[in-house]
Amino acid sequence: MNLANQKPLSLNDLPDCNIVTTSSSTKRPLLVIVGPTAVGKTGLALHLASRFTGEVINADSRQVYRGMEIGTAAPSEADRASIPHHLYGVVDPDDGFSLAQFIPSATQAIQGVHDASRLPILVGGTGQYINGLVQGWTTPRVPPNPALRERLEALLTSDGVGSLAVRLEELNPTAAARVDLRNPRRVIRAIEVAEATGASPDTAHQQTPPYNTFIVGLTTASRADLHRRIDERVDEMVAGGWLTEVRSLLIQGYSADLPALSSMGYRELAQHLAGELALEEAVRLIKVAHHRLARHQYTWFKATDPRIHWLTIGDECVDNAEEAVRGWLGSIN
């Protein structure tokens, strides 16, 4: 299929596709692109957005941070200028961001895209974010409690994160089982939510899914092929200035201990800049961590999941994705 000379399709050009309806019984469409890291989700999202008059909405928990574009493989400035993008680089590295912030932010972005009679395309590898949105989860909305946080910070300073973990386990063992007990920021937030509601910060109640959702999943022919793609991309990111990006964040005063900067790659490159790791060893560890991430992502996006239209990347992948999306949009009444 030669796509070069075909004009973009408007959603209103597709048969039986009325996405601007005000009927409460008709769900508006949401295209979702999932899959492991380095599989090509961003590129496919850009292509489908250009073909179906769409806008891209981020569902990657690391790409929300400003100043971390290289190490999170966020869309380039040129890509973001060519197609409207949402929820990329919206918080500073020392700000918290979780499912509770993502769902209302993404919902608002999707609403805006629908109101413009365009197709929202949710793309990313954070399974919790994607499942939460498409399944209609609601999460506890507990505002910060400065006085409680001050007391907990003092306890952290005097007795360490273990004391906070014990307190959380006493308040809500279920929440303690879900939270990374080595991360003081997350433990403090979990205590804050548990004291206010008795729930975990990511506890969610499922409502009727709000969208007519079509999920495209990208995968590789083999795990070895995926690892090769990951390794090549890590090398490209390092060559493209990732180390300079990490150095800039540290110079700006962002601590290497922040949750955002303790994510894969940033931790290792910060250790290299501190003289604790050779660059070659840091890069090796980054690749291993990304292999581990891919395995974890496959636990969220399973090959047996009937919701997902899986495509193996290759010569026909883009054409097959376009055909599948056109068929889905054409079936919407």
pTM flag (> 0.85): no
Percent of the chain with pLDDT over 70: 88
Interval 62-74 mean pLDDT? 97
Q: Is the pLDDT assigned to residue 16 strictly greater than 70?
A: no
Residue 16 — φ and ψ, nearest 5°? 55, 30
Domain with CATH 3.40.50.300 in the chain: 28-139+206-331
**Domain 146-203: which CATH number of 1.10.20.140, 3.40.50.12780, 3.90.1150.10, 1.10.3720.10:** 1.10.20.140
pLDDT band at 6 (very low <50, low <70, confident <90, very high): very low
> How far is it, in rounded angstroms, from Cα 55 to Cα 120?
5
CA distance to 82, 103, 131, 207, per residue, from 58 (Å): 16, 11, 14, 22
pLDDT at 68: 97
Q: Mean pLDDT over all residues of the chain?
A: 87
Confidence of residue 28 (pLDDT cuts 50, 70, 90): very high
The separation between CA 320 and the C-alpha centre of its own chain, rounded to angstroms, equals 24
- For residue 330, pLDDT over 70 is answered with yes
pLDDT of 232 > 80? The answer is yes
Distance of alpha carbon 135 from alpha carbon 211, whole angstroms: 9
**pLDDT given for residue 13 in this prediction:** 36
Do the beta carbons of residue 323 and residue 10 sit within 8 Å? no
Which helix or strand (DSSP H or E) is residue 44 part of? helix 41-51
Rg for the chain, CA atoms, rounded: 21
Backbone CA torsion sign across 179, 183, 189, 192: positive
Q: What is the pLDDT of residue 26?
A: 77
Residue 10 has pLDDT above 60, yes or no: no
Task: Average the pLDDT over 197-214 and give the result.
Answer: 70
pLDDT at residue 183 in the model:
79
Q: How confident is the model at residue 199 (pLDDT cuts 50, 70, 90)?
A: low
Percentage of the residues of the chain whose pLDDT score is greater than 90? 68
> In terms of CATH, what superfamily is 28-139+206-331?
P-loop containing nucleotide triphosphate hydrolases (3.40.50.300)
Q: Which pLDDT belongs to residue 98? A: 84
Give the pLDDT of residue 257. 87
Assign 333 a pLDDT band (cuts: 50, 70, 90).
Answer: low
Average pLDDT of the segment spanning 10-24: 33
Nearest to 90 by CA among 119, 56, 67, 118: 67
Q: Which of the listed ranges 164-173, 215-224, 261-270 does the model predict with the highest average pLDDT?
A: 215-224
Delimit the CATH 1.10.20.140 region(s) of the chain. Answer: 146-203
pLDDT at res. 269: 98
